[in-house]
């Protein structure tokens, strides 16, 4: 973590180092408090089940934060995250680990780098997909 | 028919904006947010490390802005459906946000449309929030 990444270090198609997150019900409560999102489907089991859900589910915005961390851990303090786009495709439940992953899609002439990013469960289901744009310093 | 499921008052509210709201970006709030997302990056919690990395103070994680307040839209917009889910988001970042900044938020109802999906008709409500710092610089949307 926090190593500086330079433009010269990356190439099209390379994988962004995966990070694993282990969300728990405690994390959902902490996130509700820190973010101010108190929608009960994220911490009240009865409420969630009465609304047709299998149980409490992760906040979309928490999954967004996991994908932001995938990028910021990778690019280090000198890199810039300029765009982060996510779509929530499936539910994630506490107690089920998720893996944040990504690939470098394109490196443009002006040095901006487009990536595809996603959250994946152990069975390979992608519950969140997205895109990001970053820029990196050059060694020169 | 596209659009027939959308209440008229929702269509009429497209383009309306919330009044601006100032938020003080507090060091403790950033720390609690970083702890909640379980991201131990020192630029969010260690002031001297953040300064060594050329930031004015500890930095807010990219999605922290989601946690700060906005005023409500002038019209009380409500989907006619009871099941509401967060479909996703798009962030664009222009300037870092650090502890001590004052960020003004303003939210606009950008678009409302509907689509028939696997689970039936769905109404999409698209809101855009702009985040501007104390130097009147747009830091993110």
pLDDT band for position B77 (50/70/90)? confident
Cβ neighbours of B63 in A, within 8 Å: 61, 64-65, 68, 84
Task: State the average pLDDT for chain B.
Answer: 93
CB of A31 closer than 8 Å to CB of A59: yes
* Helices and strands, number each (H, E), in chain A: 3, 5
pLDDT value for A129: 97
Q: Is B133 helix (H, G, I), strand (E, B) or coil?
A: coil
The CATH number that domain A7-135 falls under is 3.10.129.10
**Are B29 and A33 inside 8 Å of each other by CB?**
no
CB of B81 closer than 8 Å to CB of B123: yes
What's the pLDDT tens digit per position in B60-71? 999 999 999 999
Backbone angles phi, psi at B103, to 5 degrees: -110, 125
**Are A33 and B32 inside 8 Å of each other by CB?**
yes
Q: In Å, how far is A87's CA from the nearest CA of chain B? A: 4
**Are B41 and A2 inside 8 Å of each other by CB?**
yes
pLDDT value for B79: 81
For chain A, 140 residues long, give each residue's pLDDT as a single digit of tens. 457 899 999 999 999 999 999 999 999 999 999 999 999 999 999 999 998 899 999 999 999 999 999 999 999 988 999 999 999 999 999 999 999 999 999 999 888 999 999 999 999 999 999 999 999 999 87
What DSSP string describes A86-118? Answer: EEE-S---TTS-EEEEEEEEEE-TTSEEEEEEE
Q: Report how far residue A95's alpha carbon sits from residue A22's, in angstroms, rounded to the nearest whole number.
A: 7
Asked if this assembly's ipTM is beyond 0.90, the reply is yes
pLDDT value for A20: 98
Long-range contacts of B47-52 (CB under 8 A, 24+ apart): B47/B99, B50/B98
Alpha helix stretches (DSSP H) within chain A:
25-35, 45-50, 60-75
pLDDT of residue B114 exceeding 80: yes
Cβ neighbours of A130 in B, within 8 Å: 88
Domain boundaries, chain A: 7-135
Q: Report how far residue A90's alpha carbon sits from residue A81's, in angstroms, rounded to the nearest whole number.
A: 25
Domains present along chain B, CATH in parentheses: 8-140 (3.10.129.10)
Which residue on chain B is closest to A52 by alpha carbon?
B83
* Interacting residues of B110 by C-beta distance below 8 A, sequence separation 6+: B14, B126, B127, B128
CB of B59 closer than 8 Å to CB of B97: yes
CB of B42 closer than 8 Å to CB of B50: yes
- Residue A94's alpha-carbon distances to A18, A56, A126, A129, B88, in angstroms, are 19, 7, 16, 19, 19
Backbone angles phi, psi at B138, to 5 degrees: -70, 120
Which residue on chain A is closest to B44 by alpha carbon?
A77
Element at B10 (helix H, strand E): helix B8-12
* Interacting residues of A98 by C-beta distance below 8 A, sequence separation 6+: A20, A21, A23, A63, A66, A92, A119, A120, A121, A127
Torsion of CA A118, A65, A35, A90, to 10 degrees: 10
Which residue on chain B is closest to A3 by alpha carbon?
B41
pLDDT value for A1: 47
User: Among A118-122, B33-37, B122-126, where is mean pLDDT lowest?
Assistant: B122-126
Q: What percentage of chain B exceeds 90 in pLDDT?
A: 74
């Amino acid at each position: 973590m926090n190593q500086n990444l330079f433009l010269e270090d990356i190439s099209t198609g390379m994988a962004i180092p995966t990070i694993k997150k282990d969300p728990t019900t405690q994390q959902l409560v902490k996130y509700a408090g820190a973010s101010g999102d108190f929608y009960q489907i994220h911490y009240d089991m009865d409420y969630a089940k009465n609304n047709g859900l299998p149980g409490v589910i992760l906040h979309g915005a928490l999954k967004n934060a996991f994908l932001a961390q995938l990028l910021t851990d990778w690019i280090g303090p000198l890199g810039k995250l300029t765009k982060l786009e996510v779509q929530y495709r499936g539910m994630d439940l506490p107690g089920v680990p998720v893996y944040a992953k990504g690939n470098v899609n394109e490196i443009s002439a002006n040095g901006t780098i487009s990536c595809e990013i996603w959250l994946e469960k152990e069975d390979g289901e992608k519950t969140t997909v997205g895109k990001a744009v970053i820029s990196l310093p050059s060694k020169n | 028919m596209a659009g027939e499921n959308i209440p008229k008052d929702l269509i009429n509210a497209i383009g309306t904006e919330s009044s601006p709201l100032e938020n003080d970006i507090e060091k403790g709030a950033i720390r609690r947010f970083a702890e909640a997302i379980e991201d131990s990056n020192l630029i969010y919690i260690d002031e001297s490390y953040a300064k060594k990395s050329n930031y004015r103070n500890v930095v807010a994680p990219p999605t922290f802005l989601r946690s700060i307040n906005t005023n409500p839209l002038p019209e009380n917009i409500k989907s006619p459906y009871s099941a509401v889910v967060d479909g996703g988001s798009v962030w664009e970042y222009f300037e870092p946000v650090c502890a001590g900044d004052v960020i003004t938020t303003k939210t606009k109802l950008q678009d409302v449309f509907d689509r028939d999906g696997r689970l039936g008709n769905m109404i999409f409500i698209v809101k855009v929030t702009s985040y501007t710092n104390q130097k009147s610089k747009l830091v993110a949307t």
